[in-house]
């Protein structure tokens, strides 16, 4: 039953979005595991369109916030407004009070605004005046950032980026997909209406089903070894890679690798995790949690390169030892 509804969601999104199957898959994983997603890619890759379309299919409250350099924290979370008629201050809630938040070009706003957003992501609550308000469930932040323009942007601090479950790099579409995009966008008669498929109860039910997916102890150990290899690469025989890593992945990486692998297994119709599930989600979970040094930049080494090396070198049957 769940699998049929999820496939229906994907089919509805495909009415509007061409290709980008990985992005849709990762957004669904975030939704079903209560994890926020950061989408990074050059302009025009349908990041905003995909999130917007998905929200329409989910029967959830949705707000899009365009982050700009003059945005204030109160524009996001709300503020106290003086009502002259009754001589009282009243709370005006901001767009953060919604189920799905699209934080468009999140790196275009200064640190105070980013901090307000990331605090809401972590605590699932907002304080306005002297009152703390709990955000509605589900609460999911899908943020986009453009890696091309550096002028007038405020890069997210590494410690705050860690609060995103995954950072998904969006690539250019294939020739066939781009041809279809061109045909659709130049056709005045193209209809982009989608139908709602899931509601809150469905989402919570799917979350419970993913929680019941089984993961073997050997695979749990494998996740721990992957994460520890980013912190102490020399102990894993990766002397060459060690010189590029400034900081390894945090414990959130272990948690999210586990959750992401379970979600991939569930979306594949299985109630157990395979090693391939962990490997397929590893890049998106780890690429914003491994902090490289200047030597890596000088040698043109990316986190993606290092993650692939780690996946090659860490054996599945390695057991946890004293570190």
| pTM of the model as a whole | 0.87
Residue 191 pLDDT exceeds 80: no
- pLDDT, residue 149, reads 57
- pLDDT, residue 152, reads 59
Q: What structural domains does the chain harbor?
A: 2-185 (3.40.50.300), 213-313 (1.10.8.80)
For residues 180 and 41, is the Cβ–Cβ distance under 8 A? no
Mean pLDDT of the chain: 85
- pLDDT, residue 285, reads 94
- pLDDT, residue 318, reads 55
Kindly report, residue by residue over 137-147, the tens digit of the pLDDT.
888 898 888 77
Q: b/e per residue, 283-320, with b = 16+ CB within 10 A? A: bbbbbbbbbbeeebeeeebebeebbebbbeebeeeeee
CB contact set of 7 (below 8 Å; sequence gap of 6+): none
Flag the least confident range among 37-46, 64-73, 122-131, 187-196.
187-196
- pLDDT, residue 90, reads 78
Residue 323 pLDDT exceeds 70: no
Dihedral of CA atoms 111, 116, 119, 124 in degrees, nearest 10, equals: -160
Residue 133 pLDDT exceeds 90: no
Tracing tokens 């329409």 back to the chain, one arrives at 56
Question: In angstroms, rounded to a whole number, what is the distance separating the alpha carbons of residues 111 and 155?
Answer: 9
- pLDDT, residue 293, reads 87
Residue 108 pLDDT exceeds 80: yes
Q: Calculate what percentage of the chain has a pLDDT beyond 90.
A: 25
Residue 87 pLDDT exceeds 80: no
At residue 322 the predicted structure's pLDDT band, cuts being 50, 70 and 90, is very low
For residues 320 and 221, is the Cβ–Cβ distance under 8 A? yes
Residue 316 pLDDT exceeds 50: yes
Kindly report, residue by residue over 145-182, the tens digit of the pLDDT.
877 655 556 777 777 788 899 999 888 888 898 898 88
Kindly report, residue by residue over 11-34, the tens digit of the pLDDT.
888 888 888 888 889 999 999 999
Kindly report, residue by residue over 199-227, the tens digit of the pLDDT.
888 889 999 999 999 999 999 999 999 99
């Amino acid at each position: 039953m769940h699998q049929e509804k999820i496939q229906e969601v994907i089919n509805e999104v495909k009415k509007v979005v061409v290709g980008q199957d990985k992005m849709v898959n990762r957004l669904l994983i975030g939704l079903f595991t209560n994890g926020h997603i950061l989408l990074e890619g050059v302009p025009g890759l349908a990041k905003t369109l995909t999130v917007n379309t998905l929200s329409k299919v989910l029967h959830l409250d949705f707000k899009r916030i365009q982050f700009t350099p003059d945005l204030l924290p109160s524009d996001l979370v709300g503020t106290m407004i003086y009502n002259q008629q009754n001589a009282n201050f009243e709370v005006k809630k901001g767009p953060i009070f919604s189920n799905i938040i699209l934080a468009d070009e999140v790196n275009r706003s200064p640190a105070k605004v980013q901090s307000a957003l990331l605090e809401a992501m972590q605590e699932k609550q907002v304080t306005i005046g002297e009152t703390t308000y709990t955000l509605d469930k589900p609460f999911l932040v899908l943020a986009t950032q453009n890696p091309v323009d550096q002028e007038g942007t405020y890069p997210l601090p590494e410690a705050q980026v860690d609060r995103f479950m995954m950072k998904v790099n969006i690539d250019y579409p294939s020739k066939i997909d781009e041809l279809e995009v061109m045909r659709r966008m130049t056709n005045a008669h193209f209809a982009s209406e989608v139908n709602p498929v899931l509601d809150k109860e469905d989402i919570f039910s799917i979350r419970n089903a993913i929680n019941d997916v089984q993961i073997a102890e050997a695979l749990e150990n494998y996740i721990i070894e992957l994460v520890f290899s980013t912190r102490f690469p020399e102990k894993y025989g990766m002397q060459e890679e060690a010189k590029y890593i400034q900081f390894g992945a945090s414990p959130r990486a272990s948690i999210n690798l586990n959750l992401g692998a379970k979600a991939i297994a569930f979306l594949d119709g299985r109630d157990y995790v395979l090693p391939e599930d962990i490997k397929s989600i590893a890049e998106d979970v780890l690429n914003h949690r491994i902090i490289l040094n200047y030597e890596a930049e000088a040698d043109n080494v990316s986190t993606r390169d290092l993650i692939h090396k780690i996946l090659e070198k860490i054996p599945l049957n390695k057991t946890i030892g004293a570190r």
